[in-house]
Amino acid sequence: MKVAVKCCVLCLALVTVSGVQAGTIDDLKRSCFERASFHEGKHWLEECLEEIITLQPAHPAFRTIAPGSGVGLGIGVSRLWHRGEREFLPSGVMLVSPDGSLLARADFTIALPPISFVQVPVEDQNGPHLHGKTRLALVVDALDIDAKASISFRSYWMDAKRQDFYGIGPLTTQSGLAFYGLEQGSAGFTVNDPVTPWAEAGFSVDFFRPRIISVPRASRPSIEQAYNAATAPGLGQHSDSMCYEPYVRFRFKFLGHRTHFTDLKVGYGFYQQLGQSTFSFQRLSATSKTEYGIELPSEGTASHRPAWKNFLCSPLRGARHCSMGTLTFVGHVSAAYTGAGSQVPFYFQETLGGADINGNDTLRGFVDYRFRGPSRILFQAEYRHGIWGPLGFVSFYDVGRVAQRPSDIAFEHMRHDIGVGMTISATNRVVMRMY
């Protein structure tokens, strides 16, 4: 598995680098190294950072490989081809972190015209008046559809040298900390289609091959020294699994506000252990995210306003409004269901504390993986505000808990945290968080 993924990423890099576009290199030189650009201050820094991150077809890449591994550095490649109404986007990344953790990932996405419910005109039998009739149709050029249908293929291999395990359940203590290494290979695909302007449906299929590795000569015991198969299900057993997950996603925008929206995704995953059913289970998950941009009327352009006003309310394009920041509210719940004699292996369980294995923020005031269980509930409130160029301020409040069974999910005995931090943004997205 690991050799196949590495070869796939290497081939992808050779293909994309062979078609280097001189324009992107020239843009990078102009944005970052021309002396005239230095006088632009924060705008020079913003533009330079964006050019570095979006450099085509190869660019430096940095991200966390897994919680606790540190920031991984490496190279990413991507390229976009158009052929008629179809788009082809291959991409790949190879990273290594200071502790020796590795990540190799390759993706290939094909974007297609969506098959959606649209209004088509039909003639009334009693006259020439036209009415709207809803039918299923292939939409070739629909401005009211905010995304194309897509088929995405992916594969990755990850070697996380050290992961933390505190036990299972909402009442674990820090004294139970043990270490383990995780090698995991995966391959899969997703089919996605926006069936209406505000809803999309999809289906994902993934193969997982996790391997738990002992961590000798560490400051804490290795997981097999402190736990067993009863206290850490899946320990000492190598099991390959398939996951089949249908899902729907809804996106509602507030009328008249381009920065206000609610995104809701609901999925039901079927995890099937290959060869037996000891670690087969189902997981129902739902995630809601609401963003609210605080925009106020602005008097005059930024150059005619005092610096303190521009700091409190950042000018937007058009000079008619300014932004006092963005409020984000996130709600997440997942419930795992098992049959008789089945369990959820600890490496597939949900976690709270820091970020989870997928890089999503959870209880940011706690250390990574501080709480672990088959099910979890999480709520987050966050406020972000730009400070200078790509730098921003963030404050947050998180509350959540893990649960052994779906019936244990409740709004009591929840863990809370509150904090502040800094963000670095480029191309209108946060690329680094520090808190």
Could you give the CA distance from residue 339 to residue 271 in angstroms, rounded to a whole number?
Answer: 12
- Which position has the higher pLDDT, 293 or 266? 266
pLDDT score at 46: 66
Q: How many helices and strands, by DSSP H and E, does the chain display?
A: 5, 21
Reported as type and span, the H/E element at residue 223 is helix 223-226
Q: What is the dihedral of CA 55, 60, 63, 69, to 10 degrees?
A: 170
User: Where do the CATH 2.40.160.50 domains begin and end in the chain?
Assistant: 248-435
pLDDT score at 142: 40
- Which position has the higher pLDDT, 235 or 129? 235
* Topology adopted by domain 248-435: Porin (2.40.160)
* Residue owning tokens 């009442």: 171
CB atoms < 10 A from the CB of 358, how many? 8
pTM of the model: 0.81
Reported as type and span, the H/E element at residue 53 is helix 42-53
Checking if the pLDDT of 20 tops 90, the result is no
Checking if the pLDDT of 257 tops 70, the result is no
Q: What is the DSSP letter of 22?
A: H
Checking if the pLDDT of 322 tops 70, the result is yes
State pLDDT tens for residues 206-239.
999 999 999 998 899 999 999 999 999 999 888 8
pLDDT score at 235: 95
Task: Identify whether the C-beta of residue 166 lies closer than 8 Å to the C-beta of residue 351.
Answer: no
In the numeric block, which tokens belong to residue 278?
């000891």
Checking if the pLDDT of 16 tops 50, the result is no
Can you say whether residue 325 is alpha, beta or left, with left for phi > 0 and alpha for psi between -120 and 50 degrees? left
